Structure 1
Amino acid sequence: MFTIYVYVLDTLADWELGYVTAELNSGRFFKKGAQRVSLKTVSCSKEPIRSMGGMTIVPDCLIDDMAVSETSVLILPGANTWNDPRHGAIIEKASEFLSAGATVCAICGATAALASAGLLDNRPHTSNGLGFLEMVSPGYKGQGFYIDKPSVADNNLITASSTGALLWAKQIIEHLGVFQSDTLEVWYEYFSTGEAKHFFALMQTLPSGNEN
């Protein structure tokens, strides 16, 4: 079973998480026989956080409760509060995840936190722009590995810009292998274009009894 840890912190950017958490938690488009998924919110304390959109989230667990294995996934959303030293512990855990072959997925401001820790210095990645990383992460040395795309997957590290949430979700889902490939392609086409034909194509790819 995949354990998906979603790090939550004050000013969390709600929209960046919507696609990926909804699909992984609901399993509504999963292929037959896909691994089950357990999604947990995690933070540096059990205190409720307040998202950028005004939502209150009570963390399910603490950083020390996290299990690290190849079926563990850490999702790091953007936020305006990544500079708070309290979040250093989750970046240390991200380093542990990467070393163990677990998956780390970071978007927007979370990529800057990874860059500041040197975790992007030697791996293909993206963010809100190369200049953004150089500005907010003075110790960043990964310029040669920067790719100017909305989302970049490098094995167990998947990074995205603030505008790359949909492609980021697609790459995370693809990495986990929980959708059929044809389902994933038309899912992405539908949500990126809004064309009804892709919705009906999506329904046709689903295993019997999974249409909802």
Structure 2
Amino acid sequence: MKVYLTVVDTMADWEVGYLTAELHSRRFFANPLAPFELVRAGLTDAPIRTMGGIEIEPDVRLHEIAWQPDDLLVMPGAEVWEEPRMTPALAFARHALEHGRNVAAICGATIGLAQVGVLDGYEHTSNDLSYLKDTCPGYAGAARYRNEPTVRDRNLITATGLAPLEFAYEVFKLLEVMRPETLEAWLQLHKTREARWFHALVASMGTQTAGGA
């Protein structure tokens, strides 16, 4: 299984921070030795600079991805998704969805998907329904819009940019890399900051160690 993280200029680092940290470390995976890879995918092979000023070099270009059934494309928010130069990436995501592949988009990436018609056929959320209507003239998915932090419909996850934690939670559910009890404790610990959820998280791991939590 591979998770392809779309890396573009001005990528919102924090929107995928929970997600990338746990996928890279595997510290709460049900099986830390399971075949899995987090891959950075760019429109080109040139380095990008995130909104936080961090330079990231892509591992692969989007058009070079060789999809496997359980793979996932993650699309973080960025300031560039509404620009014409992002059309190839959005077309790639639309084609992936049409062929049954998994895609997860947050914040500005959802607006890009709305521009290319993807959200018309899925239950979805974004940063604001009015903004989608104003900035995406062809958008016809208002009846499917849900005013929720994150929405999963079949092979598409969408989220508002204010819900990076819930976004990660839905992605982990889709990937099934954590035990259900581990994932629930992980979510509640970050939401409530209550010690009982840390103990529940550790207990859910059995003989594994929840290092660094």
Q: TM-score range by the shorter chain?
A: over 0.9
Match of 1:146 in 2: 145
Give the distance between the partners of 2:4 and 2:34, measured in 1 at CA: 16
Please list the CA deviations of residues 93-139 of structure 1 after superposition, one character each: whole Å capped at 9, or x if unmatched.
11122122211000000000000000000210000011121122121
Match of 1:17 in 2: 16
Counterpart in 1 of 2:155? 156
In the aligned structure 1, how far is the partner of 2:35 from the partner of 2:169?
Answer: 18
- Is 1:168 aligned to 2:205, yes or no? no
Is the 1:126–1:147 contact (alpha carbons within 8 Å) kept by the matching residues of 2?
Answer: yes
Structure 2 gap ranges (5+): none
> For 2:192 and 2:40, how far apart are their aligned partners in 1?
30
1-side partners of 2:169 and 2:33: how far apart? 16
1:35 Cα shift?
A: 4.2
Q: Is the 8 A contact 2:11 2:76 kept in 1?
A: yes
1:34-91 Cα deviation digits (max 9, x unpaired): 8432111111111111111111111111112111232221000101111232221111
One-letter amino acid matched to 1:95: R
Q: Is the 8 A contact 1:34 1:177 kept in 2?
A: no
Q: Counterparts of 1:24 and 1:102 in 2: how far apart (Å)?
A: 19
For residues 32 and 66 of structure 1, what CA distance do their matches in structure 2 show? 25
Contact 1:69/1:97 (<8 A) preserved? no
Identity between Structure 1 and Structure 2 (%): 40
- Tell me how far apart the structure 2 counterparts of residues 32 and 3 of structure 1 sit (CA, whole Å): 15
RMSD: 1.4
Residues 26 and 32 in structure 2, CA contact (< 8 A), matched pair in contact too:
no
- Structure 2 distance, partners of 1:26, 1:34, is 11
Partner of 1:28: 27
Change (3 A) 1:158 1:37: same
The yes-or-no answer on 1:8 pairing with 2:18 is no
> Residue 195 in 1 paired to residue 190 in 2?
no
5+ residue gaps, structure 1 = none
Runs of 4+ in 1 over 3 A off after TM superposition: 32-35
Contact 2:9/2:50 (CA < 8 Å) preserved in 1? yes
Matched, 1:41 2:40: yes
Contact 1:82 1:109 in 2 (8 A): yes
Which amino acid letter does the alignment assign opposite residue 90 of structure 1? A
For the Cα contact (< 8 Å) 2:82–2:111, is it kept in 1? Answer: no
Q: 1:47 to 1:33 in 2, by over 3 A?
A: closer
8 Å CA contact retained: 1:41, 1:59: yes
Q: Distance in 2 between matches of 1:127 and 1:35?
A: 33
C-alpha distance in structure 2 between counterparts of 1:182 and 1:29, whole Å:
11
1:81–1:176 CA distance, 2 compared to 1 (3 A)? same
**Shift in CA distance, 159/34, structure 1 to aligned 2, threshold 3 Å:** farther
1:107 aligns with 2:106: yes
Asked whether the 8 Å contact 1:70–1:100 carries over to 2, the reply is: no
Contact kept in structure 2, 1:69 and 1:100, CA below 8 Å:
no
